[in-house]
Structure 1
């Protein structure tokens, strides 16, 4: 199991929006794209998808851009991944009656792994990611006398 490029870019953009959530000022696509090396047009498509799912909202005007539609603590990583990738399709649910015993066993293990991954994604929110990022930044600070 791997995090797709699409989901990774979306999570980076959402993390940026979450970091600036309290300010209430929208972030423009070009700001986010340049900071995280994401192609502008691709990010535009991702944010449009996230907007349709109610995870972000846009604000028009000269100082317009994108904002989170909910508190960072209310958006789970699972919400984001399902929005972009769709619900996971388990191997064990497809044609279960036509499979060999070996295929069914592999499918059952894959199903269990998917459920565990989904459980972890449901556990973490954008707020959690922001807190982890802040903690990492604090450990990387060096003080010079």
Structure 2
């Protein structure tokens, strides 16, 4: 098995869509301009019904704020550098629950669980190190590296 083709952690659609939407909001954060759902979905491939649920949950959690009216939409409540990827994953997916084992764990099972626990801690550490600001900066850097084609 090629380890590069195997994903230990699966990126759910909910987390992916939440991060894509938040990237768009973070990109407009300094302008203090709210984005409508249709503006977000025109830039990111997110089903509007799904986006509405995600933004509602993020609003309830205090990550985004909705503004009504003709110039309404959604804005980030906090600065992009204050919002970690781990926070978004936790808000969207919920807290991780410890798996209960019905049988008394054998030595071998304990070893396997310890390795999995280490992998979970390492993944949470990585996700906690990256913010929306980091993602925005990396996107800009990669856009500037992309070759431009002129016809």
Q: Is 1:123 equivalent to 2:133 in the alignment? A: no
Gaps of 5+ in 2: 1-8
Query: Is contact 1:26-1:59 (8 Å) kept?
Result: yes
Matched residues in 1 for 2:61 and 2:88: separation? 9
- Cα displacement (A) at 1:38: 0.8
Instruction: Report matched runs for 1:51-130 at 5 Å.
Output: 51-91=59-99, 94-95=100-101, 98-130=104-136
Runs of 4+ in 1 over 6 A off after TM superposition: none
**Cα distance in 2, alignment partners of residues 69 and 98 from structure 1:** 47
**TM-score, with length taken from structure 1:** 0.91
Q: Which has the higher helix share?
A: 1
Normalised to the residue count of structure 2, the TM-score between the two structures is 0.88
User: Deviations along 1:8-35, whole A, 9 cap, x unmatched?
Assistant: 0000000000000011010001111232
What does residue 22 of structure 2 align with? 14
- How big is each residue's C-alpha offset from its partner over 1:51-83, in whole Å with a ceiling of 9 and x where there is no partner? 111111111111111000100000000110000
Aligned residues: 142
2-structure distance, mates of 1:99, 1:122: 31
- Residue 35 in structure 1 maps to residue 68 in structure 2: no
Cα distance in 1 for partners of 2:56, 2:39 equals 16
Is 1:49 paired with 2:57?
A: yes
Runs of 5+ consecutive residues of structure 1 not aligned to the other structure = none
Distance in 2 separating the partners of 1:106 and 1:96: 16
